[in-house]
């Protein structure tokens, strides 16, 4: 078959050493994302040391993290509901990669934690701590470890990590 498979492969050095013409650009945009009604309240409550969900009035499902509408019934969500500081590890990973794909000397443990009092399986992503790698398990019960109150700023990082209970 006379197909032409084309393309001109380059090495990283071809570019670094200027063997081919290139142009560079560094975008400098700064963003400010509005948290919105539900996540705004979620962040405020985090600063106070509480996890909060929000209820769908049609069938009493408690969303976590809270949101302003129910994606199933398509109605405006109802009351905010304070939840417990405890939950369950739905899944996890032991990561040697940082956000820029650089290698970490010591891995971070990250998981999805579903929160007690919210609908089954509704959780968020967070770190796992005060635990040995060999003891990590899907289904393990965990509890939030908070930053000291004066260091909290209304962010998911107001919780340091979740530890086994």
Partner 1 sequence: MVGEEYRRWEGDMEALYVYTAGVAGDRFFREIRDNERLMGTYCPECDVTYLPPRLYCETCFSELNEWEEIPNKGRVDAITVAYVDDKGERLARPKVLAMVRFLGANGGLIHVVDLPEEDVYRGMEVEVVYLPRGLRKGSFLDILHFKAI
Partner 2 sequence: MRKVAVIGAGMTLFRRRLLETGKEMCFQAVQMALEEAGLELKDVDAVVSGSAPDAFDGVHMKGEYLLDGAGGVRKPYMRVFTGGGTACFSPIAGWWHVASGLADVVLVVNEEKMSSITPHPQYAFANIWDPILDRPLKPNLVWIFAMEMNRYMTVYGIEKADIARVAVKNKRNAVDHPAAQLADPNITVDDVLNSEVMAWPVQRLDISPPSDGASALVLASEDVARQVSETPVWISGVGWCIDSTMWTNRDLSFPEYLARAAQQAYGMAKIENPRKEVDVVEPYDPFDYKELHHLEGLLLADKGEAPILTREGVTQRDGELPTCPSGGLMGVGNPIAATMGIKTGEIYWQLAGKAGRRQVPGSPQVGVCQAWGDLMQFSSVMVMRA
Give residues in contact with partner 1 (CB under 8 A): 8, 10, 15, 18, 20-35, 37, 39-40, 43-44, 154-155
C-beta of 146: minimal distance to partner 2 in Å?
Answer: 15
In contact, 129 and 21? CB cutoff 8 Å: no
CA distance 83 to 122: 12
Q: Which does 134 bind (CB under 5 to 8 A by kind): partner 2, partner 1, none?
A: none
Count of residues making up the chain? 165
By beta-carbon proximity to partner 1, the closer residue of 44 and 72 is: 44
Q: Is residue 159 classed as helix, strand or coil in its secondary structure? A: strand
In degrees, rounded to 5, the angle at the alpha carbon of residue 17 between the alpha carbons of residues 15 and 18 is 65
- Residues numbered 85-104 forming contacts with partner 2, rule: CB under 8 A: 90-101
Query: CA triplet 93, 45, 90: central angle to 5 degrees?
Result: 25
Using the rule CB under 8 A, give the single segment among 50-58, 80-88, 105-113, 142-150 that binds partner 2.
105-113
Q: How far is Cα 55 from Cα 76, in angstroms, rounded to an integer?
A: 10
Decide: 161 and 129 in contact? Cβ < 8 Å: yes
Query: Residue 13: which of partner 1, partner 2, none does it interact with, CB under 5 to 8 A by kind?
Result: none
Residues that bind partner 2 (CB under 8 A): 1, 3-12, 14-15, 20, 25, 27, 31, 33, 35, 39, 43, 63-65, 67, 71, 90-101, 107, 110-112, 119, 121-127, 138, 155-157
């Amino acid at each position: 078959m006379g197909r032409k498979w084309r393309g001109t492969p380059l090495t990283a050095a071809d570019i670094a050493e200027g063997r081919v013409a290139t142009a560079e650009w560094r975008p400098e945009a700064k963003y400010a994302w509005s948290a919105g009604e539900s996540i705004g309240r979620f962040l405020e409550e985090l600063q106070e040391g509480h996890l909060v969900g929000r209820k769908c009035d049609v069938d009493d499902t408690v969303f976590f993290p809270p949101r302003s509408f129910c994606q199933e019934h398509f109605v405006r969500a109802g009351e905010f509901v304070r939840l417990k500081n405890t939950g369950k590890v739905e899944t996890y990973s032991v990561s040697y990669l940082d956000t820029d794909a650089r290698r970490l000397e010591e891995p971070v443990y990250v998981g999805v934690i579903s929160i007690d009092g919210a609908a089954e399986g509704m959780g968020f992503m967070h770190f796992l701590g005060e635990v040995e790698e060999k003891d990590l398990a899907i289904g393990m019960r965990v509890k939030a470890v908070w930053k000291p109150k004066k260091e909290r700023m209304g962010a998911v990082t107001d919780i340091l990590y979740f530890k086994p209970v």
